[in-house]
Amino acid sequence: MTTAKAYRKGSVFPPLEKGKLRLYSMRFCPYAERTRMILQFLNVPHEIVNINLRDKPDWFVERNPLGLVPVLEIDDKVIFESPICAEYIDEVYGDNKLLTKDPYKRAQQKMLLERFSKLPVGFYAGFRSKDPEELKKGSAEVNKVLQIFEDQLTTKYFGGDHPNLVDLHIWPWFERFELVKQVSGHEFMKEGVYPKLDHWMKTMYELPAVKACLTPTKDNVEFIKQYANPDVAIPDYDIGL
């Protein structure tokens, strides 16, 4: 189901199979990519239902009144918001491989991710705006966060010898720096400025879960162009299928 076309308003609800975990996703969404990567990383059997987020089916909004992907559903349970999905998957299927059980270490992981949450704000404000001042402000915000993560990285992964939730949850934006460069010419993360992060990115690209969830750059570039274009009401969510 991973390559299925996005469901739109009026689409018939694809019936749920008892006991089967479903992820409502969108192929170009970095938040949904977090959840896709975690499911891959922990080898959790699941199916994916893609959603057209500018023309959402009613049954999707009934499941998540916020109208956002990712959303998980299994039998009578619905879970939304990527950090909450991650915690649920890790506890139910992952035996806490990604978020440690130690309360203080767990709090530290979550605090670091909280600090990361400023990056997407600068990222989107920066690259969508035609105003050079906005881009400068967004870029400064992104760089502030990158410096924090550069300073924090003392091991192969943020999780030590193995990736943890921090690695998997910050990755989708690192992957997208290249798209921004191709779409707008702007480089949020210039090579050599954050040497530890440069190396970490190369290591991350080798992870099977990362490889399995990459969207071809040309499709992602085309999608971002359409998505950021105010004249395009509904971008093509099925690019490349």
Ligand X SMILES: N[C@@H](CCC(=O)N[C@@H](CS)C(=O)NCC(=O)O)C(=O)O
Binding region for ligand X (CB under 6 A): 26, 29-31, 53, 67-70, 81-82
* Secondary structure (H, E, C), 154-215: CCCECCECCCCHHHHHHHHHHHHHHHHHHHHCCCCCCCCCCHHHHHHHHHHHCCHHHHHHCC
For ligand X, the closer of residues 121 and 193 by Cβ is: 121
CB of 107 to ligand X, least distance (A): 19
Name the residue among 117, 127, 141 with its Cα closest to residue 227: 127
CB of 14 to ligand X, least distance (A): 18
Residue 47, H or E segment: strand 47-50
For ligand X, the closer of residues 73 and 194 by Cβ is: 73
Contacts of residue 41, defined as CB under 8 A and 6 or more positions apart, other chains included, come to: 98, 163, 168, 207, 209
User: Rounded to an integer, what distance in angstroms lies between the CA atom of residue 166 and that of residue 68?
Assistant: 21
CB of 75 to ligand X, least distance (A): 21
| Catalytic annotation present for 29 | yes
CB of 61 to ligand X, least distance (A): 9
User: Looking at the annotation, which residues are catalytic?
Assistant: 29
